[in-house]
Structures are given as structure tokens and as C-alpha cells.
């Protein structure tokens, strides 16, 4: 029996109007992701990838169509419900977004404090997640004492700490060299193997080609290919 998708968009459109000119950032995207999947959303700059993330996190509302994320219908979600929906997601950014004057441990623990987790639970969970991302010996370091790859691992730990249903990684390797990029993708693959759904949004075709995962290619606001062979099979003309 197939489980219901935890993420689904139906004829999703996001248009921007400036005067008489309409920019179709997304133009009828149909996408379905089941629990436990690893999906790469791939496209060039301006293809619509960033707009998809903003719609999936309720930062934007669609022009038309529907967006379902973890049981929440985002096109009609009430503002008061958005923080609860976002707690079901862990979002990772290209620029890490760490708190510079807090240690690695404090950066990760902060995400638990925000939702009111008990100190005892924080003490138990943070070391576990830091070990999972390979930073068990870096808890007392400040972000500026870490390499770029290590900072991204802190960001991944922070995204994981509240046990989200799904991780959305927005260009997670954009500021990293090829070796560190590969290591971050391996870590995301490991997290996926533990049961968390992972969506990686990237323009790095070469990196995606090294992993045998589902790849959804976006071009000019539309899905142009969706394959399970891990190969970015569509080339923009």
C-alpha cells in the first residue's frame, strides 16, 4: 500500500507582475514526494528552484494551484499555523546562517530552546546529533573557528535537532569545494537512510550525477524531467 505523499504540489503557479509584464517564476509544477525519499531538484539560476522553496516554507503564497506539506495546505494556511508547519521541516541554507557569537553546541541547542524543549532533553539530544554529523569534538568552537564544510555540518545538525519529517537543503554545497560538497551530500544520504525525507535544491549537475537518486529538473518554471536513475537527464536548450 502506497503511503500518502508528505509533499505535493498540483498545477502550482507563482507569477509576478510589473506593469504589463508578467514573470512566470513557476508555471504549473506538479510534484509529489513520499516519506523517506531523497529528491534532488535541479536547475540553472532563474529556473524557479528558489521560488519552490519559498512556497514550500510558506514564505510566499502561490498565484494558483495547491501546496501540501506534512498535512498543511499552504495556499490556505492561517498565519498562526505557519510556525507549527515549519517545525515539521529542517531547512539548510547555502550561507549557513549560524549565530557567530554562539558555540557549535549553543547554535544547535538554540533551535531546541526556541520550541520550549526541556534542558534535560537538550543535553541528551545535542551530543547525539553532533556525533551524527561528525562534530562531536567541535561543540565548544565558534563558527569562525570552523571550515566551511564544518559550518555546513553545524547547520545540518541544527536542521535535524527537532527531528523534522523532511530536510530541505537550499544549495547546501554552494560555498564549498568539490570534496567538501561530496561529503555533505554523503551526510545527507546518511540522514535519509535513517528515515528522514531529504530534498536537495541545487544547480550542481555534476554533483547530482554522482548519486543514484531521484532527480527532478526544473527549467523556466516547469518540471522538464523526473527520473529515478540519479542522472540529470535534461539539458536546457
Tens digit of pLDDT for each residue in 173-218?
A: 888 888 999 999 999 999 999 999 999 999 888 888 888 899 999 9
CA 172 to chain centre: 8
Determine the pLDDT at residue 19.
87
Count of structural domains within the chain = 1
Determine the pLDDT at residue 1.
42
Q: What percent of the chain has pLDDT over 70?
A: 95
Q: What is the average per-residue pLDDT within 2-8?
A: 84
* pLDDT surpasses 80 at 219: yes
Q: How far apart are CA 36 and CA 192, in angstroms?
A: 7
Determine the pLDDT at residue 237.
39
Read off the pLDDT band of 229 (50, 70, 90): low
Query: Would you say residue 160 lies in a domain?
Result: no
Query: Angle at the Cα of 168 (from 85 to 1), degrees rounded to 5?
Result: 75
Count of other CB atoms within 10 angstroms of residue 2: 5
pTM value is: 0.90
Query: Would you say residue 218 lies in a domain?
Result: yes
Query: Would you say residue 100 lies in a domain?
Result: no
Contact 9, 64 (CB under 8 A): no
Query: Would you say residue 71 lies in a domain?
Result: yes
Read off the pLDDT band of 4 (50, 70, 90): confident
Q: What is the average per-residue pLDDT within 126-135?
A: 95
Query: Angle at the Cα of 27 (from 71 to 23), degrees rounded to 5?
Result: 120
- Three-class secondary structure assignment of the chain: CCCCCCEEEEEEEEEEEECCEEEEEEEEEEEEECCCCEEEEECCCCCCHHHHHHHHCCCCCCCEEEEEECCEECCCCCHHHHHHHHCCEEEECCCCCCCCCCCHHHHHHHHHHHCCCCHHHHHHHHHHHHHHCCCCCCCCCCHHHCCHHHHHHHHHHHHHCCCCCEEEEECCCCCCCHHHHHHHHHHHHHHHHCCCEEEEEECCHHHHCCCCCEEEEEECCEEEEEECCCCCCCCCC
* pLDDT surpasses 60 at 236: no
Average pLDDT score, the chain? 91
Q: Which of 180, 201, 132 is nearest to 160 (CA)?
A: 132
Q: How far apart are CA 205 and CA 215, in angstroms?
A: 10
* pLDDT surpasses 70 at 31: yes
Read off the pLDDT band of 119 (50, 70, 90): very high
Query: Would you say residue 56 lies in a domain?
Result: yes
* Digit-coded pLDDT (tens) for 136-162: 999 999 999 999 999 999 999 999 999
* pLDDT surpasses 80 at 232: no
Query: Would you say residue 212 lies in a domain?
Result: yes
Query: Would you say residue 6 lies in a domain?
Result: yes
Answer with the residue of higher pLDDT: 124 or 204: 124
Supply the range of the domain harboring residue 7. Answer: 1-88+167-172+206-231
Contact 174, 94 (CB under 8 A): yes
Query: Would you say residue 178 lies in a domain?
Result: no
Determine the pLDDT at residue 117.
92
Amino acid at each position: 500500500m502506497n503511503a500518502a505523499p508528505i509533499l505535493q504540489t498540483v498545477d502550482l503557479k507563482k507569477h509576478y507582475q510589473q506593469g504589463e509584464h508578467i514573470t512566470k517564476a513557476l508555471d504549473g509544477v506538479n510534484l509529489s514526494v513520499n516519506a523517506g525519499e531523497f529528491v534532488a531538484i535541479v536547475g540553472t539560476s532563474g529556473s524557479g528552484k528558489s521560488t519552490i522553496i519559498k512556497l514550500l516554507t510558506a514564505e510566499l503564497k502561490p498565484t494558483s494551484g495547491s501546496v501540501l506539506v506534512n498535512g498543511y495546505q499552504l495556499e490556505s494556511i492561517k498565519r498562526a499555523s505557519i510556525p507549527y508547519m515549519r517545525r515539521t521541516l529542517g531547512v539548510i541554507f547555502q550561507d549557513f546562517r549560524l549565530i557567530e557569537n554562539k558555540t557549535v553546541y549553543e547554535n544547535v541547542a538554540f533551535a531546541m530552546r526556541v520550541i520550549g524543549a526541556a534542558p534535560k532533553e537538550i543535553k541528551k539530544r545535542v551530543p547525539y546529533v553532533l556525533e551524527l554529523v561528525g562534530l562531536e569534538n567541535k561543540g565548544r568552537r565558534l563558527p569562525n573557528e570552523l571550515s566551511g564544510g564544518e559550518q555546513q555540518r553545524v547547520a545540518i545538525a541544527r536542521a535535524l535537532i527537532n527531528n523534522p519529517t523532511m530536510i530541505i537543503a537550499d544549495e547546501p554545497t554552494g560555498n564549498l569545494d568539490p570534496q567538501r560538497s561530496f561529503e555533505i551530500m554523503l551526510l545527507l544520504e546518511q540522514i535519509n537512510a535513517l528515515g528522514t525525507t531529504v530534498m536537495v535544491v541545487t544547480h550542481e549537475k555534476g554533483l547530482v550525477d554522482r548519486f543514484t537518486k531521484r532527480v527532478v529538473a526544473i527549467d523556466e518554471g516547469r518540471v522538464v524531467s523526473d527520473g529515478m536513475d540519479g542522472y540529470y537527464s535534461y539539458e536546457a536548450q
